[in-house]
Chains A and B, each alone.
Chain A
Amino acid sequence: EMNLVESGGGLVQPRRSLRLSCSVSGFTFGDYAMSWFRQAPGQGLQWVALITNRAYGATTQYAASVRGRFTISRDDSRSIVYLQMSSLKTEDTAVYFCSRAVSEYGDSWYFDLWGRGALVTVTS
C-alpha cells in the first residue's frame, strides 16, 4: 500500500524554524517528484514547494509567499522529503500536506497521492 506520512508539526514562535518530514512507502520514491501544500484553518489549498526527482535534476520550485524562507529537499536513500521552514510568520499556520507529483515531461505536474497532513501553529 502506498503511504505518505508527515511528521514534525507543532507549536512554534514567530521568527523561529521548524522542519517537516514526509516518509514515503509502497512505491519507488526516487522515481517521483514530491511537493508540499498547506491549508490554513477554514481556507483553501495553497501550493508551497516542489522538488523533482534526480532524473530531472532534483530541481526545486517555490510559491512566492515562502521563497527565501522555506527549503524543500529529499533523501532518496531514506524515502523522505523535507520542508525546512525558517523565519516563520503567524500566517504560516496551516495543515501541511505532502504529495506525490506526476508528469510526463517534467512539467504540467499533478498530484496523485497525499498524506494526512501535519499541523503547524505559529504563535507567540
Chain B
Amino acid sequence: SYDVTQPPSVSVSPGQTASITCSGDNLGDKFVAWYQQKPGQSPVLVIYKDNKRPSGIPERFSGSNSGNTATLTISETQPVDEAEFYCQAWDSSIVILGGGTKLTVL
C-alpha cells in the first residue's frame, strides 16, 4: 500500500518561514492537499491540487510538489498558525493521509 511520511514536528520563530514536507514514492505524480487542524477543531483545507489556495486562506500559505516530496510553506509565520498539519493524496481509490506535523511557533 502507498504511504506518505511527514516529520512529527516543526518549529519556527514568528515572522520566519516554515516548511513542512510530505514524502512518498513518486508523490509528484499525484495531487496533494494539505489540512490545518487546531486542537478541538475540525480540519481546514489550506492547499489543494499541490499549490491551489482555497478562498479565505492567507497568501502566506503555499504548496509545491515534485519528485518524491510535497512541501507546505508558510511565510511570515504567525502564532495563530500553530496547529497540526496533514498532507493527503489519492492512490488506487484510497485516501492517503500523512501522520501529521505539529507546527510550533515560538
Contacts and interface: CB of A to CB of B under 8 A. Distances in A.
A112 B94 CA distance: 17
Interface string A42-67: 00111100100000000001011000
Determine the interface band of chain A, counting residues with CB < 8 A from chain B. Answer: 20 to 34
A107 B95 CA distance: 10
B88 interface: yes
B11 to A, nearest CB: 19
A110 B48 contact: yes
B24 to A, nearest CB: 14
A116 B44 CA distance: 11
Given A45-B37, A97-B43, A102-B48, A111 B97 contact: no
Given A35-B95, A110-B49, A111-B33, A45 B90 contact: no
Contact of B95 (A47, A115, A116, A117): A47
Interface in B78-106: 84, 86, 88, 90, 93-100
Interface string A95-124: 001010010000111111011110000000
Interface residue SS majority, chain A: strand
Nearest to A62: B94
A50 B96 CA distance: 12
Contacts of A63: 94-95
Given A61-B93, A110-B48, A112-B48, A45 B35 contact: yes
A101 to B, nearest CB: 9
Contacts of A64: 1
A46 B97 contact: yes
B52 to A, nearest CB: 9
8 A-B pairs with the lowest CB-CB distances in the bound complex, closest first: A47-B95, A110-B33, A114-B42, A44-B100, A108-B31, A110-B48, A108-B90, A112-B45
